[in-house]
Amino acid sequence: MQQIKLNPRQRASAEFLYGIACTISIPGAGKTLTMATRISLLIKKHNVSPESILGLTFTRNAARSMQEKLIPILNEEALRVKLMTTHSFAYSLLKQEGYTFEILSGTEQIKFLRQIMKNLKIRHIPTGLVLSEINLSKSNMVSIEEFKAVHADNETMSAIGAIYDYYEKSKKKKLLKDFNDLLLETYNLLSSDDEVREKYHRTFSHILVDEFQDTFPLQAEVVKLLIYNGKRTSFWVCGDDSQSIYSFTGGNISNILNFDKIFPDCQRFILDVNYRSTPEILDACQKLIDNNVKKIDKKLQTNNKSGDKPVIIEAANEDDEAVQIVNEVKALTQKHGHSYEFKDIAVLYRANSLSRPIEDSFKQHDIPYHIENAQSFYQRFEVKVLLDYLKFIDDPDSHEGDEALGRVLNIPNRYIGKTLINELDEYCEKNNVSLYEALKRMPINLPYLKKIVRKFVGFMGQLIKDKDQLEPAEMLYLLREGLEYDKFISDDDVPSIDNSKMDNINQLTMVAGKYKNISDLINYTETFREEISNNKEGVSLMTIHKSKGLEYPVVFLIGLMEGMLPHKQGEIEEERRVAFVGMSRAMERLYLSHPIVYSGKNMKRSRFLDEILN
């Protein structure tokens, strides 16, 4: 086995053999390397069978990354180690035990819930909110009965309780399971069947869990049932309480804070040497996180050479903030300057909507970029739909306008099915007319559908008639109001601070305010081509949550204002941890920026900046 260079604390954690251990790791301290080394030592040094090692990760990407680290050390044995997420593990366990079911997820789950709400005649509650409450209840092991009892005095939550009940019964009839059902069923099976539980105790003698700070109660309970406290077994977890940022999906920081109370005989290791960042960046991170009360005390240390202090950027507004960042990026990437490449730079933000001004400025200055694991602003569904409406209204008789209308004809849902769409296509072809003309002329037999189409045609006709008298922002306002678009968008929007569709369409309305006619706005948004906005060699743009586990020589953390970071909907200590995660991605240079005015409103700069500067 090749020798892997670890520091004494990493080595002690990796070489821990039997029993229960918790490894607390500061950012950039080699947690993944330590976990990979531990697995390789178990196999190569202690002759543990690869099949008896279970490594649970927070994401599938993390599982793949771990396996890639093991392959050079273990060769084919690396492929025999069970590395997966808790949900994947639960799925494979249930299938192995003979359970028959299909997975209900994504858009199918939303459709399934929407049908249930229709059956129950509940229309005033967003489907996304219902889904979020159901998921959180399961994550926290709250039964339907408990949910109903807790929310008995709340009309909205009581209605969600009724939907939840119907949802569970409907799934059971159809042999469907959502993702958290996989964990619930696994928990129920392992806790009630001694024989099955003992089988998995014999199968897995060494269990490792990564990112333990982000586990939710249900995950933690499933893992506990897998632990067999035998003579030659181990349960080893790693994580960082200061990077616990997933409470919105059920993540519970107490799982790692109280680990030694849950397992009194556990051994704790602290990896406190950072190999990523300069002392100045770590000093700023330390000053910030020291303000949290719920934490494990640790000192962020590094032997890296000294660098520049974090730079604070104060901007007049979000557009000025973007321009200042463009100027810094240009200076950093000039051949005779610091000679960074674009791919060395990341712009991080609390919410997706904050990418819009940055994308606009980068495009105007030909700075290549890509959005990490997400869509460019003008490619986001809720934005594209409104742009298609504008495209049609601007030129209803053109081929482009016709195609745009075709894309949004049933958005929001007008119950226009495939039959009517086929009839419209035939009518267009036969009479050589546009889709809009076909909607106006073609006879429709079903009275309810005829009424819907007439109303839509009338509404569009008025907007087309008034387009030269209305500015784009005014047109968007009328569209949003007439289509009840905000309600439609909010319905599917699972509550999430970092990806609000409403914030995105508000940003589009702001952009529209800069143009006097629709054509100019459309022409501008059309210039966002793939080669600029999806260039993997360009600057990385992403939410702070998406940046977890990544590192960049240069990081810009933007939008540091009260209400955004910390977010008005977030719990303050978790928001501080979010900022900590963003800052600790930086290796050499860190920029922290805030606009004085955002979306036309005066904003107070984030308290986090004061804590860092104190």
Q: What are 431-461's pLDDT values in tens digits?
A: 999 999 999 989 888 888 889 989 999 999 9
pLDDT at 417 over 90: no
Cis status, amide bond into 412, omega within 30 of 0: yes
Q: How confident is the model at residue 487 (pLDDT cuts 50, 70, 90)?
A: confident
Q: How confident is the model at residue 602 (pLDDT cuts 50, 70, 90)?
A: very high
- Residue 341: C-alpha distances to residues 31, 239, 323, 375 (Å): 27, 31, 19, 23
Helices then strands, each counted (H, E), the chain:
29, 17
* 4-27: average pLDDT: 94
Distance from chain centroid for Cα 4: 34
Q: What is the pLDDT of residue 387?
A: 96
Q: What is the pLDDT of residue 106?
A: 80
- The pLDDT tens digits for 101-128 are 999 988 889 889 999 999 999 988 888 8
Q: List beta partners, residue 270.
A: 24
Cβ neighbors of 60 (< 8 A, separation 6 or more) are 84, 85, 88
pLDDT at 414 over 90: no
Cβ neighbors of 189 (< 8 A, separation 6 or more) are 93, 94, 97, 196
In the chain, the N- to C-terminal Cα span, in Å, equals 48
Distance from chain centroid for Cα 188: 29
Spatial contact of 192 and 175, defined as CB atoms under 8 Å apart: no
Q: How confident is the model at residue 248 (pLDDT cuts 50, 70, 90)?
A: confident
Report which of 367, 322, 360, 365 is spatially closest to residue 341, judged by C-alpha positions: 367
Higher-confidence residue: 372 or 91? 91
Element containing residue 407 per DSSP (H, E): helix 399-408
Cβ neighbors of 107 (< 8 A, separation 6 or more) are none
**How many angstroms separate the CA atoms of 108 and 40, rounded?**
41
Total residue length of the chain: 614
Q: What is the pLDDT of residue 225?
A: 96
What share of the chain has pLDDT > 70, as a percent?
Answer: 96
Residue with tokens 């967003």: 126
Q: What is the pLDDT of residue 531?
A: 52
Phi-psi category of 103—alpha, beta or left, where left has phi over 0 and alpha has psi -120 to 50? beta
Q: What is the pLDDT of residue 529?
A: 62
Q: What is the pTM of this model?
A: 0.90
Question: Binding site residues for ATP, as ranges?
Answer: 25-32
pLDDT at 92 over 60: yes
* 346-365: average pLDDT: 94
Per residue, the 3-state secondary structure of 525-581, as one string, reads HHCCCHHHHECCCCEEEEEHHHHCCCCEEEEEECCCECEECCECCCCHHHHHHHHHH
Cβ neighbors of 446 (< 8 A, separation 6 or more) are none
pLDDT at 249 over 90: no
Mean pLDDT of the chain: 92
pLDDT at 317 over 90: yes
Within 10 angstroms of residue 213's Cβ, the number of other Cβ atoms is: 26
pLDDT at 337 over 80: no
**How many angstroms separate the CA atoms of 262 and 267, rounded?**
12
Element containing residue 401 per DSSP (H, E): helix 399-408
**How many angstroms separate the CA atoms of 55 and 38, rounded?**
11
Strands 552-557 and 539-543: unpaired
Alpha-carbon dihedral 423, 426, 431, 437, rounded to 10 degrees: 50
Question: Binding site residues, as ranges?
Answer: 25-32
- The pLDDT tens digits for 291-302 are 999 999 999 999
Q: What is the pLDDT of residue 250?
A: 87
Q: What is the pLDDT of residue 493?
A: 62
Q: Which amino acid is at 94?
A: L
pLDDT at 2 over 60: no
Spatial contact of 326 and 348, defined as CB atoms under 8 Å apart: no
Q: What is the pLDDT of residue 403?
A: 92
What share of the chain has pLDDT > 90, as a percent?
Answer: 76
* 146-166: average pLDDT: 94
